[in-house]
Amino acid sequence: MAFLEFQHIRKTFDGFPAVDDVSLEIRKGEIFSLLGPSGCGKTTLLRMCAGFERPTEGRIILNGKDITDLPPNQRKVNTIFQSYALFPHLTIFENIAFGLRVAKRSEAEIHDEVERMLKVMQLKGHERKKPHQISGGQKQRVAIARALVNKPEILLLDEPLAALDLKLRQRMLVELDAIHDEVGITFIMVTHDQTEAMGISDRIAVMNRGKIQQVGRPNEIYEAPTTSFVAAFIGDTNFFVGQVGPADHGDYCRLKIEGFDRVLCYNDKRLKPGQMAYVSVRPEKLRIHAERPEDDPRLNLIPGKVTDVIYEGGRTDYWVDGPGGYRISVTRAHQLFGLDEAPIEWNQAVWLSWHADDGYMLEQYREDDEELLRLPAAPEAGRLAELPDED
């Protein structure tokens, strides 16, 4: 049951579609993230929800009520702006009290509510200060307090952590989660940072070029991306391009990839033989072997040569030159005592393997995504360009 619903939302600026036919259902009480590269329309979508922009087409339904044409001051929705937008001429106390004063609440009520917020947000002792006298993290807590004191049904957060430095960002993320647990209202967060979105969200909508690519729980989006864009944008991955071959082992199929011996893939999208397809294999799903491992029908095996070794303590990242000109990223986690493992060195000939279930087959191809996808060397890319566009 949807609490907030976007129905076929479109928003154009001078004919340019910033948000293009977006339909979303957001549940009560969840932290929902809009994730995508800069300029993909996340902020525009959020601003339509707040009432600062009116959709060119489509409706927004909150709790069964159509709020598409309501002005911002009539929506029980509050926004945390990217720059916080605290009123510089007012004290912290008056900033937090702003909404209550506009609503003409009694002085005693305002005092109690603001004091409670100051306590919850750990801002006691700062209430007399002006915004420019407090730190970035405190400013953000003031912005949250100023919004939450109005008891909104939804809190909208536009890149809430982008203005903070890295260390503070991680702490505020934990704090945001704690605040959400405490107030229990719906949070909709915009971010271009996937770790932020993955870390805090109940569900994520991945956007690109004004369109929703996939909606799901963080692990669904990571493990089972539905488009090549999502696979590339969320985490690191290796893409191989090939032609779908005959079915094998039931739902599996063979894939012809130039230079590769034979590749078996789980064909959950039921791609037809002859079609071009991507296989996405995450670096941690690849295993690196010094010796050729024993044959296993479900195991895909390719030879390669190590070109880079980056030791990270808990894991080692390898770059391996594989067949067909592919440069492959492999991550090995050190779960055993690291010194006991056979070392793999630069320039060493190795074998890479992955289980057929771990290669994710994707059909969708957009020329737009090329940059993000870090496509393989020229011959493949050239062949791909001849493929018909999906839409």
Partner 1 sequence: MKTEKFQSPRVLEALLTGPGLIWLLVFFLLPTFNVLLISFRPSTLTGGIGEGWTLETFTQLRNPNYPLIVFRTLWVSAWITALCLLFSIPVAYCLARAPARWKTRLLLLIMVPFLTNFIIRVFAWKVILHPEGWVASAFIAVGWMEAGTQLLYNVHAVVLVSVYTYLPFSLLPVYAAAEKFDFTLLEAAMDLGCKRLEAFLKVFVPGISRGVWTATLLVLIPNLGAYVIPDIIGGHRSMMLGNIIARRLFSDRNLPHAAALSSLLTLLVLVPMVVVIFVRRRREAST
Ligand X SMILES: Nc1ncnc2c1ncn2[C@@H]1O[C@H](COP(=O)(O)OP(=O)(O)O)[C@@H](O)[C@H]1O
Q: Which residues bind Mg ion (CB under 5 A)?
A: 43
* Strand bridging mode 16-26 / 4-13: antiparallel
Return d(Cα 26, Cα 13) in angstroms, integer.
Answer: 25
**Smallest distance, Å, CB 125 to ligand X?**
35
What letters, b where the CB count within 10 A reaches 16 and e where it falls short, cover 339-363? eeeeebeeeeebbbbbbbebbbbbb
Strands (E), 14-87: 16-26, 31-35, 57-62, 65-66, 77-80
Q: Which residues, numbered 280-319, are part of the site for partner 1 (CB under 8 A)?
A: none
**Smallest distance, Å, CB 199 to ligand X?**
19
Q: Which residues, numbered 1-30, are part of the site for ligand X (CB under 6 A)?
A: 13, 18
DSSP string across 244-303: EEEEETTTEEEEE-TT-S-EEEE-TT-PPTT-EEEEEE-GGG-EEESSPPPP-TTEEEEE
Token pair for 231: 């696979």
Q: Find the farthest-apart pair of alpha carbons in the chain and give their distance in angstroms, rounded.
A: 78
- Residue 103 interacts with partner 1 (CB under 8 A): yes or no: yes
**Smallest distance, Å, CB 218 to ligand X?**
19
Interface map 26-65 toward partner 1 (x if CB under 8 A): ------------------------xxx-------------
Q: Which does 79 bind (CB under 5 to 8 A by kind): ligand X, Mg ion, partner 1, none?
A: partner 1
Q: Which stretch binds partner 1 (CB under 8 A): 15-23, 87-95, 264-272, 276-284?
A: 87-95
Q: Which stretch binds ligand X (CB under 6 A): 38-46, 243-251, 262-270, 316-324?
A: 38-46
- Residue 87 interacts with partner 1 (CB under 8 A): yes or no: yes
Question: Which of 39, 71, 259, 379 lies at the binding interface for partner 1 (CB under 8 A)?
Answer: 71
Q: Do 214 and 206 touch, CB atoms closer than 8 A?
A: yes
- C-beta closer to ligand X: residue 39 or 259: 39
Task: Please enumerate, as own/partner, the contacts of 384-387 that have beta carbons within 8 Å and a separation of 24 or more.
Answer: 384/241, 384/276, 387/276
Q: Which does 133 bind (CB under 5 to 8 A by kind): partner 1, ligand X, Mg ion, none?
A: partner 1
Place of tokens 């929705």: 77
Q: Do 143 and 81 touch, CB atoms closer than 8 A?
A: yes
Q: Which residues, numbered 112-141, are part of the site for partner 1 (CB under 8 A)?
A: 130, 132-133
Q: Which stretch binds ligand X (CB under 6 A): 36-44, 84-92, 104-112, 229-237?
A: 36-44
Return d(Cα 59, Cα 55) in angstroms, integer.
Answer: 8
208 φ, ψ (degrees, to nearest 5): -150, 135
- C-beta closer to ligand X: residue 62 or 207: 207
**Smallest distance, Å, CB 154 to ligand X?**
18
Q: How many residues bind ligand X (CB under 6 A)?
A: 10
Binding site for partner 1 (CB under 8 A): 50-52, 71-73, 77-79, 81, 83, 85-89, 98-99, 102-103, 130, 132-133, 146-147, 150
Binding site for ligand X (CB under 6 A): 13, 18, 36, 38-44
